[in-house]
Structure 1
Amino acid sequence: MPVINRIADFAEDMTAWRRHLHTIPELSFDCPKTAAFIKERLQEFGVDEIHEGIAQTGIVAIINGRGAGKTIGLRADFDALPIEEATGVDYASTHAGKMHACGHDGHTAMLLGAAKYMVETRNFAGRVALIFQPAEEEGGGAQVMCAEGMMDRFDISEVYGIHNLPGADEGAFYTRPGAIMAAVDSFTITINGRGGHGAMPHETADPVVAACGMVTAIQTIISRNVHSGAEKVISVTQIHTGSASNVIPDTAMINGTVRTFDKETRDTIIKRMTEIVQGQAASYGVEAELDYEEGYPATINSDAQTAFAAGVARSLVGADMVEDEFAKVAGAEDFSYMLEERPGSYLFLGAGAGAGLHHPKYNFNDAISPVGASFFAQLVEQMQPAVK
């Protein structure tokens, strides 16, 4: 895999950084050990500014280039997951019930590698803002960093991010203009009826039958209310009710998830689900409440920035290793909040064979770290060549 020679020189350092981070996984916003390690490396490299405490443990570091130009944001997430690790590696998690099962340790190592190189060479104009973000998995750290004014405070003009992709060709890049990852919402429907004896249903207002009717009706939103060409998912994942075979319960609960790629589809689903819950409740003689929680919005890549990023990737790894019309992914990513504030692009970097993301046996492939670091550096250098 072609990489910048100087970055290849310290590939072993990147592996060591990543594996240390793997031993100290931390969750959500509470990542003091991780943030401290990142700060120590940035100080060693000699970045020009380090700003801490953004979204609690987030960091933005600034590297000044040679000559005037805009500020390009490069982002790495660094939180872990509440999973008990089962990899058996000698650098496994030392924090019980927590592990880096999504590769955020690797993302951080890639950005640190790019930082080390760019401080040494400064072969670009303008500035680079290195964004180290907590709480991608839970809490929306990107949203909080943006809400705290990060984009304006550091005058960030564009923003870019990478996520590793197990099962895809090692060192290959995958992206697309427009929506690349879904908005993720969740819903809970609480049904209150009137319970009674299972042999005397006429004396009850049965929440079980009402729940079944609602689940069936909710599925018609996809087939009858949303354009057939729109990509969307509604999955009912839980129904909880009852305690005995001869007792009609008082209550029932329905829970599920919704994935969409555009606001119009999302709004239609919310409207129709509200109407269905109210209408079905009335028809079954029960009361029902819909709690619909909008999560991360869709991750929408800017056209021009994605075309440029794909071109940078092709110059690095070759045209046959870049897919710039990659299929949309129904998973979600809070980098979407950054893309709502600034143009930019999100790319996947193939990690080769191995366990999938969020699996207890997942382990980041250190071989791709120099590729990701080289991409970040090349992106900056090609976008804003240094002033001679």
Structure 2
Amino acid sequence: MLGAGDLADLTAFRHELHRFPEVSRHEAATAGRVVQALAGLNPDQVETGLGGHGVAAVFNGAADGPTVMFRAELDALPITEISQAAYRSTIPGSGHLCGHDGHMTLLMGLGRLIARARPARGRVVLMFQPAEEDGSGAAAVVADPRFADLRPDWAFAIHNMPGLPLGHSSLKAGAVNCASQGLKIILSGKTAHASLPETGVSPGLALARLIPAIAGLGQGGALGPDYRLVTITHARLGEAAFGIAPGEAELWATLRTMRDDQMAALRDAAMDLAQGEAAAQGLGIRFEHHDDFAASVNDVEAVAVLSQALDALAMPHDAGDLPMRASEDFWRFGQAGTRSAMLFLGAGETHPALHNPDYDFPDALLAPGIAIFHQVLRDLLG
């Protein structure tokens, strides 16, 4: 077990990560801090630069057996932190406001326990994954040729969850996170002098019509197999000038569904609607796709392993409000043939919500989170 000195060290490590947040695809210094901390744990193998800035530490057991992966995320958010903490972000416009600093620390604590007592069999992979927040990181890691040699039989993750009682877990098999995708619609016409708008081609009317029309394709409601939600997140028309009739416009929308096949249908419907409006107004149109998250599904057997671990530790758990609207890219590992599951560990009923500017991972979750991972490891690998 970890002692008070271990927890003090790990808390200091989390605070150091918190002070220097890096957004998706820019986590080079964070990865460097992880590699430096891993060196003292003597892993048998360390891979860097996985799928971008990903880091994987491998610890071999005494005999052959399955590979078990535990995953944390490296990236922070492009949000300014509002905090009086001594360890608040030192990077303007960036903050660890989703708790990935805490998730990395859970893996580092697990690494300390493994370094002191290797598993009886198999091997453990501690995966520090890049770019979760934009949905690209897990897919990039899986696509990295080196991942073939690391491919786990089992994969587990913990995400802290404000709104749940501290230390209480939400866990269920099946669908747990929605699929989501960012759709950018770019309309092009022709600028004109503001006194002669008829000599140009303005996308203004098309933009005004598309905002309610595309939002109307998915109005939310109860989560279920046919759930669809479209959120308009940004719109821009022309230049910020009084003398120019606009010649271009952008509309950004986040599409959200419970199933991947529904996502494809919703995306196609939105693009068809936009193409029809552009044609009617004599506009050019192109699309960009961003932040592509597959729907997350927890494997039944992997959920059973987590549930057994929670019961062994006498830690309360239930299905809670799962599935949830928010998206997660952890399922990319499950799509690669791994039995995978994520649980959501309560950060406190009144704790600031994820992505809020005043959010901070509770240090009180370090010990229970590490204990859950360690119990899973012992149950699977001895």
Cα-to-partner distance string for 1:141-165 (whole Å, 9 max, x where unaligned): 2222211134421242121111111
Cα-to-partner distance string for 1:18-56 (whole Å, 9 max, x where unaligned): 112222223333334333332233222232222223234
> Hey, what does 1:40 align to over in structure 2?
36
> What TM-score, normalized by structure 1, do the two folds share?
0.86
> Hey, what does 1:137 align to over in structure 2?
133
For 1:95, the aligned partner's letter is: I
Give the CA deviation at 1:323: 1.8
> Hey, what does 2:366 align to over in structure 1?
369
C-alpha spacing 1:110/1:180, structure 2 compared with 1 (3 Å): same
The 8 Å contact of residues 175 and 295 in structure 2, kept in 1 or not, is answered as yes
* Aligned counterparts, 1:81-100, within 5 A: 81-100=77-96
Report SS of the residue matched to 1:164: strand
> Hey, what does 2:296 align to over in structure 1?
299
> Hey, what does 1:211 align to over in structure 2?
207
**Structure 1: 5+ residue runs without aligned partners?**
none
Report SS of the residue matched to 1:364: coil
> Hey, what does 1:256 align to over in structure 2?
253
Report SS of the residue matched to 1:126: strand
The 8 Å contact of residues 51 and 143 in structure 2, kept in 1 or not, is answered as no
The 8 Å contact of residues 296 and 332 in structure 1, kept in 2 or not, is answered as yes
Report SS of the residue matched to 2:163: coil
The 8 Å contact of residues 189 and 289 in structure 1, kept in 2 or not, is answered as yes
> Hey, what does 2:117 align to over in structure 1?
121
Tell me which moved more, 112-121 or 139-148. Answer: 139-148
C-alpha spacing 1:74/1:228, structure 2 compared with 1 (3 Å): closer
Give the CA deviation at 1:345: 0.6
Give the CA deviation at 1:378: 0.6
Tell me which moved more, 136-145 or 333-342. Answer: 136-145
The 8 Å contact of residues 174 and 300 in structure 2, kept in 1 or not, is answered as yes
> Hey, what does 2:55 align to over in structure 1?
59
Give the CA deviation at 1:184: 2.1
C-alpha spacing 1:165/1:359, structure 2 compared with 1 (3 Å): same
Aligned mate of 1:356, from 339, 353, 357:
353
For 1:153, the aligned partner's letter is: D
Report SS of the residue matched to 1:221: coil
Distance 2:202 2:29 in 1: 52
* Aligned counterparts, 1:281-296, within 5 A: 281-293=278-290, 295-296=292-293
1:152 pairs with 2:163: no
1:20 pairs with 2:24: no
Distance 1:204 1:112 in 2: 60
* Aligned counterparts, 1:225-264, within 5 A: 230-241=226-237, 249-264=246-261
Cα-to-partner distance string for 1:84-109 (whole Å, 9 max, x where unaligned): 33211112223333322111111111
Cα-to-partner distance string for 1:81-139 (whole Å, 9 max, x where unaligned): 23333211112223333322111111111111111112212244211111112222247
Report SS of the residue matched to 1:362: coil
Distance 1:351 1:258 in 2: 28
C-alpha spacing 1:301/1:279, structure 2 compared with 1 (3 Å): same
> Hey, what does 2:325 align to over in structure 1?
330
The 8 Å contact of residues 277 and 289 in structure 1, kept in 2 or not, is answered as no
Give the CA deviation at 1:278: 2.4
Distance 2:228 2:31 in 1: 37
Distance 2:355 2:155 in 1: 25
Fraction of identical pairs, as percent: 29
The 8 Å contact of residues 170 and 349 in structure 1, kept in 2 or not, is answered as yes
**RMSD value, Cα:** 3.0
For 1:370, the aligned partner's letter is: A
- The structure richer in helix per residue is 1
The 8 Å contact of residues 177 and 303 in structure 1, kept in 2 or not, is answered as yes
Distance 2:137 2:324 in 1: 21
1:177 pairs with 2:142: no
Give the CA deviation at 1:370: 0.9
Tell me which moved more, 93-102 or 163-172. Answer: 93-102
C-alpha spacing 1:7/1:370, structure 2 compared with 1 (3 Å): farther
1:107 pairs with 2:103: yes
> What TM-score, normalized by structure 2, do the two folds share?
0.87
Distance 2:133 2:268 in 1: 28
> Hey, what does 1:312 align to over in structure 2?
309
Distance 2:287 2:164 in 1: 39
The 8 Å contact of residues 135 and 292 in structure 2, kept in 1 or not, is answered as no
Distance 1:154 1:368 in 2: 28
For 1:375, the aligned partner's letter is: I
C-alpha spacing 1:291/1:15, structure 2 compared with 1 (3 Å): closer
> Hey, what does 2:164 align to over in structure 1?
168
**Structure 2: 5+ residue runs without aligned partners?**
none
C-alpha spacing 1:324/1:312, structure 2 compared with 1 (3 Å): farther
For 2:271, the aligned partner's letter is: T
